[in-house]
Amino acid sequence: MAIARKYLVDAEVAMYYHITSRCVQGAWLMGTDPRDGRNYDHRKDWVVEQLERITPAFSVNVQTYAVMSNHFHLVVYYDPLAALSWDNEEVARRWFIAHPAQLADPEDDACRAEAIELLASDPERVAHCRGQLGSLSEFMKTLKQGIALRANRESDIDGHFWAQRFYSGAILSEKALLTTMAYVDLNPIRAKIAHHIEACEHTGLAARLRHAELDGAQLEQYLSASLEGLGQEAPVIAYTLKRYRKFVEELGQLEIVAKQLLLPKRHQEAMTREESWQIGKQVLGSKPRAIGGKSQILDWLKARGFSPREQYLPGHLS
């Protein structure tokens, strides 16, 4: 049975989350469709473009991402209370970033300024917009809806593009965050779309490294967000880009070794993700609703009235 989002996403505490969303029925609607051979790889660019466009409007930072043929992954930092600190004009400005189609002429600066002034002067509308821009669910709805409409226009069809719900897993420690980010950034390599991280076209890490080619100093900078909606309000991870790249490369090699040893899948996961991912699975089924150390997960469960359903694996990720 699905768990209500209000139990999975904290309404008051800023936190990192791993998010995934799949195309309807797992169809390859962003890759080569095995049924008719049509190639939809260009839609992966759409997802990245939509992320780049809407993230500055919402109370989220996108830490990294990976867009695959039938699903995508995000690691986000979400602050549910950030929107409360925005003044009316800031709310209005962000609203039209997220919803440019509501402007009479999205390309006209004067038109935009007038619309912002009009919205900012309406307390009731501002309150509604503030709530929407401060919602993780609305962020995902806006992201996915734009892609679905564009794809349906391209294919000249109606109907669902995405499976209805998205998965979210709370990330409870920095070590768990780095492991989850690396898992996401390695997705194209795991799927054999690319053979090394620089060759990945639709991941947050590959985008960072492309920017670092133009400015080598970025390799020595701490990991901030790939895409920002929160700016200075979000924490910075105490890992440089250079160190994180090495961490991802080592984890990728571990995955190869684990498969070559023909270990059972559960042991491969424990070996390559330092058991954080598997502990989450043991607690709440096939998709971990919380990722971190054993004590952290138990505290997270207790706060929501959940009980562990299975045994923990030995060890933990603190």
Domain boundaries, the chain: 12-80+137-303, 84-133
Residue 185 confidence (pLDDT) above 90: yes
pLDDT for res 279: 39
Provide the CA 315 distance to its chain's centre, in angstroms.
Answer: 27
User: What's the pLDDT score for residue 295?
Assistant: 83
pLDDT over threshold 70, residue 76: yes
Split at pLDDT 50, 70, 90, the class of 181 is very high
- Confidence check: pLDDT of 273 > 60: no
Whether residue 287 is predicted with pLDDT greater than 90 in this model: the reply is no
What digits encode the pLDDT tens for the residues 5-25?
877 888 899 999 999 999 997
Between 24 and 251, the more confident residue is 24
Output b/e per residue, 61-83; b: 16+ Cβ within 10 A: bbbbbbbbbbbbbbbbbbbbebb
Rounded distance between C-alpha atoms, residue 226 and residue 205, angstroms: 8
pLDDT value at position 10? 87
pLDDT at 282 over 80: no
Q: What is the mean pLDDT of residues 78-83?
A: 96
For residue range 104-156, list pLDDT tens digits in order. Answer: 999 999 999 999 999 999 999 999 999 999 999 999 999 999 999 999 998 88
Q: At 77, give phi and psi (nearest 5°).
A: -110, 120
Q: Which of 53-62, 191-200, 250-259 is least confident?
A: 250-259
The pLDDT value recorded for residue 1 is: 56
Strands 222-223 and 60-67, by their bridges, are unpaired
* Share of residues in the chain with pLDDT > 70 (%): 85
| Unique residue bearing structure tokens 């009235």 | 305
pLDDT computed for residue 98 by the predictor: 97
The whole-model pTM stands at 0.88
The architecture that CATH gives domain 12-80+137-303 is 2-Layer Sandwich (3.30)
Q: What is the mean pLDDT of residues 195-203?
A: 87
Radius of gyration of the chain (CA): 20
